């Protein structure tokens, strides 16, 4: 990850703290996480409920492929903020092996008994991520994502957050989007088009913002002050503006 990308993520996290000044403290929003204090988290296969286009043209096919890549990026970058917070998260290969033995549907896994993950595999919590919807204009990209963390010890809900996140670009005098230097670097590195790069960078920052807000795990150095830091709401909107800064709209109606 380039330094400029790290800087944008750091800006997002700082904005999260500033925006949450009048919100609930972490000890309130994440009371169940503090009580359960899980050390090991399994990220369940991502549940993609977003609509794809009927393929009639090459543009339809490219659009669907772009969503597929961004959805995969959302899943693959979810573990990074959790590891940095001090949780143990199985790697992609181990997670894929675990998923391959699962006979329940994602809906059943999200809502039914999951204590076998603790009893048989030693996972103390399971993170479920649902992509609800994608939208875009010629210079903005929006995704709505639902995050739910459940205890594998007793099945209770530890955290639930739903976010509508948008990344916007400025335009030139012809009305064409003007990507940031990091956007162009990402597109060049991975050989993807502008739309795919914007979606991938959007979901990566979204993961850092949402999952980086969780209380520190057992592998992290304890921080008593953290409990009294303000958190973001359960439902909110996240905007990455054309200059790369982050805005948070805390009103549930904004969703």
pLDDT digits (tens, 9 = 90+) for 95-124: 999 999 999 999 999 999 999 999 999 999
> Per 3-state DSSP, what percentage of the chain is helix, strand, and coil (rounded to 5)?
40, 25, 35
% of the chain surpassing 70 pLDDT = 88
| Spatial distance between the Cα atoms of 110 and 8, rounded to a whole number of angstroms | 32
The pTM is what?
0.88
Q: Where are the alpha helices (DSSP H) in the chain?
A: 3-19, 26-29, 31-36, 58-76, 79-84, 92-100, 106-111, 116-119, 181-190, 194-211
Fold of 24-249: Rossmann fold (3.40.50)
Query: How is the chain split into domains, by residue range?
Result: 24-249
């Amino acid at each position: 990850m380039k330094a400029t990308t790290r800087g944008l993520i750091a800006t997002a996290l700082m904005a999260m703290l500033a925006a949450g000044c009048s919100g609930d403290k972490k000890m309130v929003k994440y009371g169940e996480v503090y009580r359960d204090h899980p050390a090991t988290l399994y990220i369940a296969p991502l549940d993609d409920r977003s609509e794809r286009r009927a393929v009639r043209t090459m543009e339809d096919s490219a659009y669907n492929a772009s969503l597929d890549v961004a959805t995969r990026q959302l899943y693959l970058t979810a573990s990074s903020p959790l590891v940095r917070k001090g949780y143990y998260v199985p790697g992609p290969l181990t997670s894929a092996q675990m998923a391959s033995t699962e006979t329940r549907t994602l809906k059943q896994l999200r809502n039914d008994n999951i204590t076998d993950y603790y009893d048989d595999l030693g996972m103390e919590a399971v993170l479920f991520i649902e992509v609800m919807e994608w939208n875009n204009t010629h210079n903005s990209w929006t995704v709505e994502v639902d995050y739910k963390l459940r205890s594998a010890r007793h099945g209770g809900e530890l955290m639930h957050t739903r976010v509508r996140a948008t990344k916007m670009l400025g335009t030139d005098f012809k009305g064409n989007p003007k990507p940031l230097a990091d956007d162009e670097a990402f597109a060049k590195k991975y050989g993807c088009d502008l739309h795919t790069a914007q979606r991938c960078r959007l979901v990566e920052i979204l993961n850092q913002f949402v999952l980086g807000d969780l209380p520190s795990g057992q592998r992290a150095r304890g921080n008593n002050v953290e409990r009294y830091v303000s958190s973001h709401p359960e439902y909110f909107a996240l905007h990455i503006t054309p200059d790369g800064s982050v805005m948070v709209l805390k009103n549930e109606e904004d969703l």
